[in-house]
Structure 1
Amino acid sequence: MKLQSVLLTSLPLLFCLNSQAVEQKVDGVAAIVNNGVVLQTEVNNMVAMVKRNAESQGQTLPSDRALQTQVLERLINTSLQLQMAKRMGLQITDPQLDQSLENVARGENLSLEQFRQRIIEEEGDYQAFRERFRDELTTSEVLRANVQRRVYISPQEIDNLMRVMDEQGASNEQYNIGHILVAVPSQASPEELADAKDRADKVMKLLRDGSEFRKIAIASSSDTTALDGGDMGWMNINEMPTLFADAIRGKKKTDLIGPLRSGAGFHILTIFDIRGANVAELQEVKSRHVLIKPSIIMSEEKARDTLAKFVADFKAGKADFAEFASANSEDPGSKLKGGDLGWADPAMYVPAFRDTLQRLQKDEISEPFRTEHGWHIVQLLDRRTVDMTAEKKQDQVYRMLFNRRFAEEQANFLRELRDQAYIEVLDQAE
């Protein structure tokens, strides 16, 4: 009887352990990345999301196996960057996350609640979306912090490009580029190079025979844009990596270019679209702001509430902007000027600051908002349209060169991060 009693009391535990074992198999480990893992459920969830997006856009996809391979590669890269963020002590706080989500919602003319409801309708789980968005913000900050310091643009480079643009009568024409990368190891053997070149040639043949570029990019590309169908977005020819710019020049929409050889591997390009013309004018804004940085002494809530109280007092005519900025702002460049930022191209500001300015009417003051620098308020004082003077053209050329160099160094950084990592992809049972 005692043995029977022990067995009976043990049965629930045995069933529980068996249930956990089954669950572990379903939510198995897809890859080991240093001291972390990528779970199979993460892969499955992202595959489902890519399929939903493709269906809504009428886009065809490669086989599930090819899609899972690309998704796993994306998640491995994300894991590596999140691990680096942890080593750097970089963290996106809840207030930062909420502010960024609010900016996204406002950009789509939705309230945060309307935006949340739309995500629930499209994806079902708003909390999962929220944490995925936090990861995206974190990886963006990792790239900015580690890649930006690698980029140096000399005055000579700016002068040289300005001279070339003047000689060629260069315009602000922009290209929407598609990119497929057939990668090679950093110290590839002749056999590995030959194999990669053969695979690149086969991809080119498929494309020339009429295969859809985006579908082939998802199936075959090793670039970070693979899951986006190879879409690199809109770029001026002088913002592209030099290898791409030289090859794209003079080409037409839908042209296929490549394979082009670089240290990363073999590149195949196409032009999805071309837009724009020579623009001789620039929209500038004149504004003033206050920045308060959260710290051990100044919490996120206190920083935001301090600015919110000032905004209320300012609107009621009880407070002076310049006095408040001089006494409280932590932006050394504008603090002594009463927060005045002068005339500037809004594109020079970080996205959240730029987007807030674009929504304001003349003399309107914003509510507190968060950027990577801290909590801000900003008042739009005026707008104007100016000719592209030599100084403004110089700024534009600098941004082109910076964007080009940033893209090149970002690829190098991600490749180095991966080369230094321990990565083991585990076979999943069918």
Structure 2
Amino acid sequence: MKFFIRVICLSALLLLNSWAQEVSLDRVSVIVNQGVILESEIQSLIEEVKLNAQANDQALPSDRALRTQAIERLIIKSLQMQMADRMGIRISDPQLEQTIANIAASQGADVAELRRQLQRDGISYDDYREKVREELIVGEVRRANVRRRIYITEQEVSTLMKLIDQQGAEQAEYRLGHILIGFPPEPSDEDISDARDRADKVIELLQTGSDFAKIAIASSSGSEALEGGDMGWTNINSMPTLFAEAVQGKQKGELIGPIRSGAGFHILQISDTRGIETVTVEEVNARHILIKPSIILSEEKAKSMLNEFRQQVMDGEADFAELAKEHSEDPGSALRGGELGWADPEMYVPAFKDALAAMEPGEYSEPVRSVHGWHLIQLIERRFDDATEKRKEDKAYQLIYNRKFSEETEAWLREMRDTAYIEVMDQAS
């Protein structure tokens, strides 16, 4: 009996010791204002980057450099999520599921197939859902805070329209690699000199054959550092003015920089170019019925109402326009029978735009959840036009907006980062 008790006690001690070791693996590694970043989050992101690098046959810097970049990415995410909480930005489960359904549809699959693919890739569907939710929240926070910082003059639009006229319907696009050697918000001469020396050293390494992506992950202060500095494909009129001026006339493979800005010294590499494309403008004419959930009207009830409307319209028992006039909570379109008129689909919120992209003319959507509520949508017609003067003006405005949104997003993130309380805990503690 005593031996049995001793075995139980020993087993209990081993379990407690094992549990203590597991707990010690996860700890607070960074304090960010009122939030924290856990060690498990850092390790998870590092593992994700390593797996992506392995899949793309991409070299990586030291674990120390990788950890530093992962921590910086998580700090920026934490600051944005905390701001979302203060602003009351939420993404409901129905809205999230609708977005995931749209993602699956864009890949020619349904949600069940997407789940199976995630399982094959070793990714938890719950983890995937929450990552999509976070991306939606971060997108809303950025749009809300950056949009009000953007001011576009008529002269800017007019100048770009003239450039588009000169270029005709052909626009050069570049795939850029970007490394930012940053300095503090109010740098001293010593800070600037030190950053310049580091930038020159990076140029020297790249010119002697060092891997651009590896150096970007290890050294860049840019927001795309963990992607190896890859900015993706960018229209020359959409990229920051500083970059556009630098890359004009340059060829694939060329290295550019260092170029100084208020953020630091930029080094660019033209990974690829692609060329002559005809500019066509897609427009859609759609109508919708909007039902907004409330304390009185639940999410399920709002969705159910639209399902009933859809069936009535399809069965010929009700008229879409009359239902919109009576029930739609979009005052701008309800009186017109829900009709929105011809518009660039890019002007709509993502869920609405994605639903339209998957529809054929005359088709009715299933109920779609967006930030505004539940929509029943009918795509009336779709057309592709050559750019008229009005469309060229809209295009010029959107290109300038996209460029300034990118620039102001970087500035806003830097300002938020610079004013935050951040404490990185000692790894040895």
Under a length normalisation based on structure 1, what TM-score does the superposition of the two structures give? Answer: 0.92
- Structure 2 spans left out of the alignment, 5+ residues: 1-5
Q: Which residue of 1 aligns with 2:79?
A: 80
- Structure 1 spans left out of the alignment, 5+ residues: 1-6
**Structure 1 letter corresponding to 2:387:** M
Per the TM alignment, residue 401 of structure 1 is displaced from its structure 2 partner at its CA by 0.5
Aligned equivalents of 2:361, 2:82: Cα separation in 1: 44
Q: Which residue of 2 aligns with 1:248?
A: 247
Q: 1:28 to 1:248 in 2, by over 3 A?
A: same
Structure 1 SS opposite 2:37: strand
Per the TM alignment, residue 352 of structure 1 is displaced from its structure 2 partner at its CA by 2.4
Aligned equivalents of 2:356, 2:295: Cα separation in 1: 29
Q: Which residue of 2 aligns with 1:3?
A: none
Q: Which residue of 1 aligns with 2:284?
A: 285
Aligned equivalents of 2:46, 2:261: Cα separation in 1: 30
Q: Which residue of 2 aligns with 1:127?
A: 126
Per the TM alignment, residue 412 of structure 1 is displaced from its structure 2 partner at its CA by 0.9
Which deviates more, 175-184 or 399-408? 175-184
Q: Which residue of 1 aligns with 2:47?
A: 48
Aligned equivalents of 1:221, 1:157: Cα separation in 2: 31
Structure 1 SS opposite 2:209: coil
Aligned equivalents of 2:70, 2:399: Cα separation in 1: 31
The 5 A counterparts of 1:57-206 are 57-167=56-166, 171-206=170-205
Structure 2 SS opposite 1:123: coil
Structure 1 SS opposite 2:221: coil
Per the TM alignment, residue 189 of structure 1 is displaced from its structure 2 partner at its CA by 1.6
Aligned equivalents of 2:274, 2:370: Cα separation in 1: 31
Per the TM alignment, residue 348 of structure 1 is displaced from its structure 2 partner at its CA by 2.5
Per the TM alignment, residue 266 of structure 1 is displaced from its structure 2 partner at its CA by 1.0
Under a length normalisation based on structure 2, what TM-score does the superposition of the two structures give? Answer: 0.93
Aligned equivalents of 1:294, 1:100: Cα separation in 2: 18
Aligned equivalents of 2:217, 2:276: Cα separation in 1: 31
Does residue 400 of structure 1 match 2:399? yes
Q: Which residue of 1 aligns with 2:338?
A: 339
**Structure 1 letter corresponding to 2:211:** E
Structure 1 SS opposite 2:121: helix
Which deviates more, 177-186 or 326-335? 326-335
Aligned equivalents of 1:183, 1:314: Cα separation in 2: 58
CA RMSD of the aligned region, Å?
2.3
Preserved contact between residue 26 and residue 39 of structure 2 (Cα < 8 Å): yes
Aligned equivalents of 1:124, 1:391: Cα separation in 2: 46
The 5 A counterparts of 1:2-21 are 18-19=17-18, 21=20
Preserved contact between residue 291 and residue 327 of structure 2 (Cα < 8 Å): yes
Preserved contact between residue 170 and residue 279 of structure 2 (Cα < 8 Å): no
Aligned equivalents of 1:240, 1:280: Cα separation in 2: 18
Structure 1 SS opposite 2:30: strand
Q: 1:264 to 1:387 in 2, by over 3 A?
A: same
Deviations 1:47-70 (A, max 9, x none): 111222222222222222222211
Q: Which residue of 2 aligns with 1:304?
A: 303
Deviations 1:68-108 (A, max 9, x none): 21111111111111111111111111111111111111111
**Structure 2 letter corresponding to 1:358:** A
Q: 1:27 to 1:280 in 2, by over 3 A?
A: closer
Aligned equivalents of 2:324, 2:160: Cα separation in 1: 39
Aligned equivalents of 1:141, 1:307: Cα separation in 2: 25
**Structure 2 letter corresponding to 1:155:** E
Q: 1:276 to 1:367 in 2, by over 3 A?
A: farther
Structure 1 SS opposite 2:360: coil
Per the TM alignment, residue 378 of structure 1 is displaced from its structure 2 partner at its CA by 1.5
**Structure 1 letter corresponding to 2:137:** T
Per the TM alignment, residue 280 of structure 1 is displaced from its structure 2 partner at its CA by 4.5
Structure 1 SS opposite 2:256: strand
**Structure 2 letter corresponding to 1:246:** E
Per the TM alignment, residue 384 of structure 1 is displaced from its structure 2 partner at its CA by 2.0
Aligned equivalents of 1:213, 1:238: Cα separation in 2: 24
Q: 1:280 to 1:28 in 2, by over 3 A?
A: closer
Q: Which residue of 2 aligns with 1:220?
A: 219
Structure 2 SS opposite 1:273: strand
Structure 2 SS opposite 1:317: coil
Does residue 364 of structure 1 match 2:354? no
Preserved contact between residue 177 and residue 269 of structure 2 (Cα < 8 Å): yes
Which deviates more, 162-171 or 372-381? 162-171
Q: 1:61 to 1:8 in 2, by over 3 A?
A: closer
Which deviates more, 55-64 or 103-112? 55-64
**Structure 1 letter corresponding to 2:36:** V
Q: Which residue of 2 aligns with 1:412?
A: 411
Aligned equivalents of 1:408, 1:116: Cα separation in 2: 36
Does residue 381 of structure 1 match 2:380? yes
